[in-house]
A and B are shown apart, each in its own frame.
Chain A
Amino acid sequence: MSLLEVSNIRKSFGKTEVLRGIDFSLEKGDVLSIIGSSGSGKTTLLRCLNFLETPDTGTISINGKTIFDASLHKKLKETEIRSNRLHFGLVFQSFNLFPQYNVLDNITLAPKMRLNEMNYSKEEKKEHLQGIIKTAQQLLDKVGLTEKAASYPCELSGGQQQRVAIARALALSPDILCFDEPTSALDPELTGEVLRVIRDLKSSDCTMIVVTHEMEFAKNVSDKVIFMANGIIEEEGNPYDIFEAPKSPLTRAFLNKSVESF
C-alpha cells in the first residue's frame, strides 16, 4: 500500500479549471518532484494537499485512510480538518516566518498551541514542553542554524529563513513534507544551502513533494517526477525517463525551454 494516494482531484476557480483530474501515489521515503510551466496547476495541487484549497472532487488517503473526500468534506468539523492537515507539512516560496517571534519560538509556537489543547496535568505539560524545545533544537541543528535560535527572522538571510521554515514544518512531524518552489524567492547563491537541507532530509527517509523549477535538483534528488501541463499530469516516471527519454511532446518542449534558459 502506498503512503499517499491521490485520486481524481479537480479544482476550478470561477470558470477556470485549474486541476482537471489528478491521480498519483507516493511511497514512503520517496521524493516526488512536480515540474511544469507557470499556470500548469502544480502549486494549486500542493495547496489542495495542504487543505489551503478545497478540491471540488476527489479523495486523498494516507496509509489507506481517507483524509479528504470532496463529497463528505462539508460535513467535517474544523477540528477534524485541522488534525487531517497535519499529515502534511508545507514550506512556502516566501518563507512566511512569523516576524515577531525568534527562530526557536517560530518552531515551537504550533507544537505549544497543540500541547495547550491536550488535557495533560501540569507535570506532564512541563515534560512535553521540554520535549518540544529539545526537538526544536535538534531540528535547528539539522538545518545548521543552532547558533541562530534567538535571532529574529529580519536578522536572517533568505536562505536561513527558509531553513528555519523547514525546521518549523518538521516540528509537527508530518508524514509528507511539501515544498512550494522553496528556492524561487532566493538569490542564486543562497539556493544551494536550502537544496542541501532537502537532500539531507531525503537521506533521513523523509517523504517529500517538491514543486520546483530547479531541474538539476529534480533530476538528481527525486525518486519520481511528475510533469504537469494544463491541469493534468502529462507525464510521470522516474527522473531518467522524464529527463532523458520524455515521451510527451509537451514534456520535451518544456525541458528544452528550461535548458535554454540556463
Chain B
Amino acid sequence: MGFWEVTLFLLDGFKVTCLLFLLTLIFSLPLGLIICMGTMTKFRPIRYIMKVFVWIIRGIPLMLQLFIVFYVPGMLFDIRIPDLEINVFGKTLEISARFLSALIAFVINYACYFSEIYRGGIQSISRGQYEAGQVLGMTKMQIFFKIILKQVIKRILPPVSNEVITLVKDTALARVISVVEIIKLAEQLASRALLWPLFYTGAFYLLFVGILTLLFNHFEKKLSYFKS
C-alpha cells in the first residue's frame, strides 16, 4: 500500500475518532454543568450522592469504564445497547452498539471532570460580585447570567482546553471495545506487517490538536479585554 492509499484508509478511522470526540463534547459540557450544580446544591443527600459519583468516575480507569458500559448492562440486566441509525441532515449515520457504549462512557467520564472545573470556576468568583448585583436589585438569574458567567468562562477556559485536548487522544481507548477508530485501523495494517502507518496516525492527532489549540487561543484572546 502506498502513502495515499494508507492515508485514505486511516482517514476512515479518523472520521470515527472525530465523531466520538465531537459527540462527547456536545453532551459532556452541559452534563458537566448539571453534575456541578448537583455537587454544589444545599440539599445534602443529592450533594453527597453526586460527590460520591464524581469520586467513582474519576477514581476508576477510563478504559475500565468502557468495559463496564459495554458489558455490564447485558450481564446484570439483560439490556443490550442497540445499534442505532440516526438521520442527520438527510444523511444516515450508523452508530454501532460499540460506538454508543464508548460514547456513553466518555460523556459520563468527561462530564465529571468538567463539573469539577466548573465548580472551581464558580467558587473562585468573589462574593462581592454577587453582592454588588444584589444591592442593585438584580435577581439571582440575572446575576448569574449577566455578571458571573462570563467571568467563570474566562477563568475555566485554560483547564477546559486542557481536558478537550486530552479527550482527542483518549478517544483511542475506544478500540478496547473494538470501536474501529484510527489506531485500530492502523493496528490491522500492522498485523499485516505494515508497521509505519501506526506511527503515522500521530500526525492526524497532532494536526487536530494544533487546530484546537489555535481555536482556544482565539477564545482566550477574545476574553482578554478584561481582568477578573
A interface residues with partner B (beta carbon < 8 Å) = 50-52, 78, 82-83, 85-86, 88-90, 92, 94, 96-100, 109-110, 113-114, 152-154, 168-169, 172
Contacts and interface: CB of A to CB of B under 8 A. Distances in A.
B166 interface: no
Nearest to B154: A100
Nearest to B225: A152
Interface residues of B, number: 22
A92 B132 contact: yes
B226 A113 contact: no
Nearest to B228: A99
Contacts of B150: 100
A150 to B, nearest CB: 11
B138 A113 contact: yes
A92 B131 CA distance: 9
Interface of B: 126, 128-129, 131-139, 142, 146-147, 150-151, 154, 225-228
A82 B129 contact: no
7 contacts: A92-B131, A96-B131, A98-B129, A99-B151, A113-B138, A153-B226, A169-B135
A35 to B, nearest CB: 22
A85 to B, nearest CB: 6
A8 to B, nearest CB: 23
A153 B151 CA distance: 14
B136 A110 contact: yes
A100 B151 contact: yes
Contacts of A99: 151, 226-228
B222 to A, nearest CB: 11
Contacts of B139: 78, 82
A96 B132 CA distance: 6
A172 B137 contact: yes
B226 A100 contact: yes
A153 B128 CA distance: 15
A82 to B, nearest CB: 5
B56 to A, nearest CB: 34
Contact of A92 (B128, B138, B151): B128
